[in-house]
Each structure stands twice: as C-alpha cells, then as structure tokens.
Amino acid sequence: MSVNILVPAMGESVVDARIGKWLKHEGDAVTVGEPLVELETDKVDLEVPAPQSGVLAKIAHTEGADVKIGEVLGTIEPGTASTTPPGSPSSSANLTTSARSVPATPSVGPPAAAETAAELSTPSPAPRATKDEVPKSVTPGSTSRPESPRPVERETPVGPARPDEPHVPVTPDHPVERIRLSRRRATIAKRLVEAQHTAAMLTTFNEVDMSAVMTLREREKQAFKDAHGVGLGIASFFVKAAVAALREFPHLNAEIEGDEMVLKHYYDVGIAVDAAEGLVVPVLRGADRMTFAEIELGIRAMAHKAQEGSLTLDDIRGGTFTITNGGVFGSLMSTPILNPPQVGILGLHAIKDRPVGVGGQVVLRPMMYTALTYDHRIVDGAEAVRFLVRIRELVEDPGVLLLEG
C-alpha cells in the first residue's frame, strides 16, 4: 500500500516551508526513518524522514518549491528499487527528475560561450543577386537601381529603467550570478527592516577595561577547563553582567504589546551566533540560574548546532534580551539592530590595547567598546546609559559577578 510523504507540523507560527534538497530520487529504495528531503523554514531547517520502507515512487514538488503543512511531498510504494539499465524509460524518468531539481536561475557562461552565442544570433550577409534575380523593371544599360529598403529607426526608451531591469547589462565583461534567497535569509531581511520601521532604535556606547577579566581568565583557564571540559570565555562574564543589570533596569527586559509594556521577570538571554544561512539567536533559558561553566557549555553547544544546521525551534524561540559579539570577527565598533519583540541588545567588540589615563598616568590597557541599542519608546536615554555603565562596572570587577552569581 502506497503512503504519502507529508509536510510535517513545524512548530508555532511556522505554516509553510521551501524544499531545499531531495536526498533521494524517484525509484530509489528507502527505509523507514531515513531522511528523504530537507525543508527550509523561516527559523530552522529540518529533514523529513520516510514514513515506511519501500520505493520513492513519486516526487510531487521539486527543489525550490514552497509547500504548506500537510501538503504531499511525494509517495512511497512497497517493493524494492529496480535495476533498470541505462536508457530504459524508468531511467529516463529519473534523469528528468534530476534535471528538474536544478535551480532555474540564469547564469552567464565564459566569454567564449557568449561569443559563440552572439555569432549564432547574427544574421549572415545575403549572397549577391544573380542576373536572373534582377527585377524586370531594370532594363539593360539603365543607371537606375532598385530602391533599397530604408533602415528601420528604433526609438530609444526615455526615462528610468524598470525595477526588474539589471543596472548593468549582462555581457561577457559583466558576469553576474543570481541566487534565490533561502527562507531563513529572506526572513532575517524582513525582520531587520520591520525592526527599523517599528521601533524607535537608538544606540549608546561605552568602553570597558578588560584587564581584570583577562587576568582572571589567564590565571584560572586551565583549572576551569580541567574541571568543566570547556574554556572560560568572555561571553559568560557579559551574560552574568547583563542579567545583573537587567534586574536593576527592568525596562530593558520587556516588550511592547499594543499600548502595554510587558515586564518579564525571567532572563532568557539570546546569544547571536553565525551560521551558514545567516545569523541565528539561540537562547540560554534561565540564564540567571546558570553558572559560568553552564553558560560556556551552553554557548558552545548552540554554536555547534548552528554550524551543523541542527538547531530546533525550541532552541531559538523566545528570549528577553540579546548579546551579539562582533569582536570575534574583528569588529571595533558597530550599532546592533534589535531582535523584535525585544527592546534591548548588547553589542560586544574586539579587545584592543589603548592608552588610557589611570591615576594621573597614561598606560596601555586592553579595552573593549560596548554598544547598547534600545527601543526609545519605553527605555529612556538616561536609563540606557546607566545600564551600560553598570555593565562596565560589573565586568571591570569580576569578583562582584561571582557574588551576584
């Protein structure tokens, strides 16, 4: 009995997906539980397993197609894969399926290919007329010539180009490549634009002397790793400092719903991590109850899952405040964008030795610029500045963070 492969339910607020890649072809044998197709959603990617063993008899939607929950992706029939020799009808069907899976995006070949195409499209010059082809109206010895056809005058369009027209003509000298945005990348773009349109975003900056943290890490890093199996990083200090500061300035741990401000008395801190499809923000649940080791282990696990594409909806859902560290890529200063519906995001940056005044003398210290972007609708400027100052005070005296923890 044949069984349909259906688009599964994928969590709250996810109603459709895009077929990213078929892992099997029509006619292939499959076993129950074996991944058949990869689906891209707005938040995470997931694999759809085979509901039963048999043969993938039909693929209903090719790669790149958008599908909704409950829609049929394909059909599995009982039996085993046939060993049909190449050139047979079923073999041709499989080849056709594979060809359909290639994205139909225009591409530009090498200059030689383009020149060949131009030569094929250029009309060849007409041969000379023979005597028999001379019009009868032309008599021998006459100096008149048959009237040549007048060239057709083409009007050059005036005005701006249409939005869908390329700014630069596609020629061998201007090769281009068009790549369809993945569902996640398109959603990231949409949410970032929405954040700029809906929130009154403002960013304030400060700098932190990282001397005490660097000294502590250097002194304790080996013992910490031996005890917990993970290194002691910078992020855990800022997670601890952020939770302590959020307790003092609760408006930064809130969101706006209609004409109400929802204050959240729990601390689920999102940590922005880089992934192949773009930035994702998995969440440390109950960060206020976590130790330094638990924070470091949680961040490492989330980064690993992001790189291998195994994050789930539960990993990224919710969050009350976000921390993003552009310093790992060398960023000296930036203005992070809010992660709606949150009203605060803390940006960390590269640690650089800079001259600072200490006790009336100029000394070199490892300094980091910090940035806080906040929604000015419910967070006042003075409150945001004091929040960032409190972050600096806590990180510059990590012993206080141990007491806070």
The answer to whether 61 is a known catalytic residue is: no
Q: Name residue 263's amino acid.
A: L
| Cα separation, 78 vs 50, whole angstroms | 12
Tell me which of 66, 353, 380, 397 is the catalytic residue: 380
What's the CA gap between 286 and 139, in Å, rounded?
102
Which spans in 125-234 are helix H? Answer: 183-198, 211-228
Phi, psi of 193 (to 5 degrees): -65, -40
Could you list the beta-strand ranges (E) of 13-132: 16-22, 29-30, 35-40, 45-49, 54-59, 66-68, 72-77
- Residue tagged 């790189």 (tokens): 307
For tokens 């954040």, what's the residue? 195
**Active-site residue, from 66, 174, 376, 397:** 376
Alpha carbons 85 and 81: distance in angstroms, whole number: 12
Residue 99: strand, helix, or coil: helix
174 is annotated as an active-site residue:
no
What six digits make up the tokens of 156? 């050059």
Tokens of 263: 């204050």
* 3-class SS of residue 85: coil
Report which of 252, 235, 246, 225 is spatially closest to residue 327, judged by C-alpha positions. Answer: 235
Q: Which residues are catalytic?
A: 376, 380
